[in-house]
Amino acid sequence: MLMDDASRRLRRALGQVRWAFRTTRACCPRLLAGYGINALVLTLVPAGLALSVRGLVNAVDRALDGVSLADTGAYPWLVVGFVMTLVASLGTVVGRHLAQRMQLGLRRALRRRLLLRTAATPFAHIEQPAFQDDLRRVQDNPELHVADLCTHSVELATKSIQGLSLLLILVAIEPLLFLFLLPIGVPYIWYRSRLSKRQFLELDQRVEQERWMAYYARILADADQAAELRLLGIGDEVIRRWQTHVDGIEGLRCKHQREELIAGMAFGLGSVLAVYLAMAHAIGAIVAGQLSIGDLAIFASAAAQLRGIVDQAATLVGGLRWNVMHVGRLSGFLAAWPAPRSIAIDPPAPAPAPAPAPTEPRSSIELRAVSFRYPGAAEPLLRELSLRIDAGETVALVGANGAGKTTVAKLIAGLYQPEAGAVLIDGQDTATWKPGSLGRRVGCVFQQFGRYQASAFDNIAFGDWPRLCDDRAAVESVARKADVHGLIASMPQGYDTMLGRQFGHYQPSGGQWQQLAIARLIARDAPILILDEPTANLDVTAEAELFRRFRSLAAGRTALLISHRFSTVAMADRILVMDQGQIVEEGSHRELMERGGRYTTLFRLAQRFAAEVDR
């Protein structure tokens, strides 16, 4: 059983090594081949140096006995030593350069694959802390782990050949060295492998703490939160919490470093003792005339090199174990979902302009006995919810916070999948549609809409990027329809103005960002429009103007409005009232007010609050 388990672990590890080599070969084949050839040449160096030292010492010994230096063969051995030293020096530099170049090639390829994979991940998973932890793990220098797994594998093979060649030379001179060094070197290599695994698992469990550290560091510098933090005077508390997590992780790393120090010192003491015990025995053999002075020289040189190689091999084995586990997470993450579509680096060629929106209604929506539960929740938020929105109808969804309104919008948009039941567009279950096809049918502006650090032109063109990316006239036409052309024209560089504080010099207000988001929605020309709290950052006058314009723009489309403002929802053709994940009332504003139910209660509460504010 233990053998089977060890065999499975070994197969998994070898599988990750193969994956790393395939990935590296795919993006930088010449660099990988060059690194392998360079490593192969370097395998000759230790034995060559040891033999050259032996030859030179014996030659000098013969010269001291009166033999001509030219006849001792010293010069050829001097050339061999020179060449071996030069190869070692240049090969080390070349190997380091090739490894760095491979990391650069892998950096671009792997980080792009991670972006593609993240873009292809279902929205419901992106919201989960477990996914964020997994993403943080694989974003931790993936190119370094893949490159190191390849280079360490090659280096370990190189060190093994070098060590074996030196061991053969040493055993031929003094067999006792093998008996002294073996029981020290093998346990040390095994221990470093086990230590790397344990260190990886212990640090891996602290990834949530690292996410907290990043969060605390971010909010201290975030423009939207820094003002409140300073007014509340809780900056020191945020730093204290950050420090708590730092202390935990740094304490763990210090413990790991102490363990490595103790293991390295134990190996150093044992290996040096073994080498010098064997050397003492070799000196006795020289005095007895069984070995030459050159044999002693080669023994001293080769033994020191062999001890260093064993130490390096232990470090490489530990690094291999560490990187195998990192690469295992990376390859598993990249294979978690169906392969994402290819995304061009350069903007795609503009697609043909779509036909104008038809005047006839299109795209009905139906939720049929839909149940939905958030991961980790004890109870479903929606229970067998059914509703229908006819094609071309404008429907408002109202209810208290937590009633499930935004969840319904995200189910229709395909961001969530129901636990039970079905979401249908024009009578077709959207669960059977091809990935991405629903995005062309549904346009959304959610409460947390995008505030893209890009130009004003891009912020609108992102609504239908393939069609609008190079069409300035079309974007300006959309801006005029959305009534934001005047706003953009007043910006320092017009449509080329970079928005946001991070990279630009113009910071729109919250309402202006929202107007741009609605313009982006209009640019999409989708038959279904969803607006989740679309007027949260607008005053009453701006809200009335926006919806007056929106009603004309939404003609012929199906619209779902989610809002707490009853002046907004009263404009809808029909109003649906939600409570505890169910539709409890529906009708027009007048019908619901005459009924005197839940809607009437909410409406009167809103009126009373507005009156109190006015006073």
The closest of 222, 220, 250, 224 to 238, measured between CA atoms, is 220
Domain-embedded: residue 544: yes
Which helix (H) or strand (E) segment is 296 a member of? helix 293-334
Given the DSSP bridges, would you call strands 574-579 and 558-562 parallel, antiparallel or unpaired?
unpaired
The closest of 94, 99, 142 to 117, measured between CA atoms, is 142
Distance in angstroms (rounded) separating the CA atoms of residues 28 and 24 = 6
DSSP class per residue in 483-509: T-HHHHHTSTTGGGPBBSTTT-SB---
Residues 246 and 286 both lie in one domain: yes
- In the predicted structure, residue 90 carries a pLDDT above the cut 90: yes
Q: Strand runs (DSSP E) across 427-511, as ranges? A: 428-429, 442-445
279 vs 408, more confident: 408
Residues 238 and 132 both lie in one domain: yes
In a 13 Å sphere around the CA of 322, the CA atoms on its Cβ side amount to 20
The label of the residue with tokens 């959610």 reads 446
Buried b (16+ CB within 10 A) or exposed e, 498-516: bbbeeebeeebeebbbbbb
- In the predicted structure, residue 326 carries a pLDDT above the cut 90: no
Given the DSSP bridges, would you call strands 558-562 and 382-389 parallel, antiparallel or unpaired?
unpaired
CB atoms within 10 A of CB 280: 11
Q: What is the pLDDT of residues 245-304, one digit of tens each?
A: 888 888 888 888 888 888 888 888 888 887 777 777 777 777 777 777 767 777 777 777
Does the predicted TM-score (pTM) go above 0.85?
Answer: no
- In the predicted structure, residue 25 carries a pLDDT above the cut 80: yes
Question: At residue 95, what are phi and psi to the nearest 5 degrees?
Answer: -60, -40
Using pLDDT thresholds of 50, 70 and 90, give the confidence band for residue 342: very low
Q: What is the pLDDT of residue 196?
A: 86
Residues 513 and 548 both lie in one domain: no
Using pLDDT thresholds of 50, 70 and 90, give the confidence band for residue 555: confident
Residues 276 and 410 both lie in one domain: no
- In the predicted structure, residue 70 carries a pLDDT above the cut 60: yes
Domain-embedded: residue 30: yes
Distance of CA 80 to the CA centre of its chain: 49
Residues 516 and 543 both lie in one domain: no
Residues 495 and 582 both lie in one domain: no
Domain residues for 299?
2-334
Domain-embedded: residue 350: no
The two structure tokens encoding residue 365: 């929506």
The closest of 399, 429, 412 to 529, measured between CA atoms, is 412
Give me the CATH number covering residue 383.
3.40.50.300
Q: What is the pLDDT of residue 435?
A: 67
Given the DSSP bridges, would you call strands 382-389 and 365-372 parallel, antiparallel or unpaired?
antiparallel
- In the predicted structure, residue 360 carries a pLDDT above the cut 70: no
Given 493, 525, 557, the domain boundary residue is: 525
- Rg over alpha carbons for the chain, rounded to the nearest Å, is 35
Residues 51 and 41 both lie in one domain: yes
Burial class (CB in 10 A: 0-12, 13-18, 19+), 233: exposed
Tell me, what amino acid is at 336? A
Q: What is the pLDDT of residues 117-135, one digit of tens each?
A: 888 787 777 877 778 888 8
Residues 535 and 510 both lie in one domain: no
Given 525, 560, 582, the domain boundary residue is: 525
Using pLDDT thresholds of 50, 70 and 90, give the confidence band for residue 201: confident
**Cα–Cα separations (whole angstroms), residue 3 to 7, 10, 15, 189:** 6, 10, 18, 20
Residues 437 and 585 both lie in one domain: yes
Domain-embedded: residue 434: yes
Q: What is the pLDDT of residue 181?
A: 66
- Residues 515-536: what's their mean pLDDT? 83
Q: Tally the domains of the chain.
A: 3
Domain-embedded: residue 23: yes
Q: What is the pLDDT of residue 179?
A: 64
Burial class (CB in 10 A: 0-12, 13-18, 19+), 493: middle
The label of the residue with tokens 């679309």 reads 534
Given 487, 510, 525, the domain boundary residue is: 525
Given the DSSP bridges, would you call strands 382-389 and 394-399 parallel, antiparallel or unpaired?
unpaired
Ranges of H-type helices in 2-44: 2-27, 29-42
Distance in angstroms between the alpha carbons of the first and the last residue of the chain: 80
Residues 390 and 465 both lie in one domain: no
Tell me, what amino acid is at 516? L
Mean pLDDT of the residues in the chain: 82
Q: What is the pLDDT of residues 419-472, one digit of tens each?
A: 999 999 998 998 888 766 787 788 888 877 888 888 999 999 998 888 898 899
DSSP class per residue in 502-560: TT-SB---HHHHHHHHHHHHHHT--SEEEEESTTTTS-HHHHHHHHHHHHHHTTTSEEE
- Residues 305-333: what's their mean pLDDT? 85
Give me the CATH number covering residue 187.
1.20.1560.10
Domain-embedded: residue 297: yes
Check: CB of residue 449 under 8 Å from CB of residue 535. no
- In the predicted structure, residue 241 carries a pLDDT above the cut 60: yes
Check: CB of residue 573 under 8 Å from CB of residue 389. no
Residues 261 and 375 both lie in one domain: no
Domain-embedded: residue 354: no
Which helix (H) or strand (E) segment is 424 a member of? strand 420-425
Domain-embedded: residue 343: no
Residues 520 and 549 both lie in one domain: no
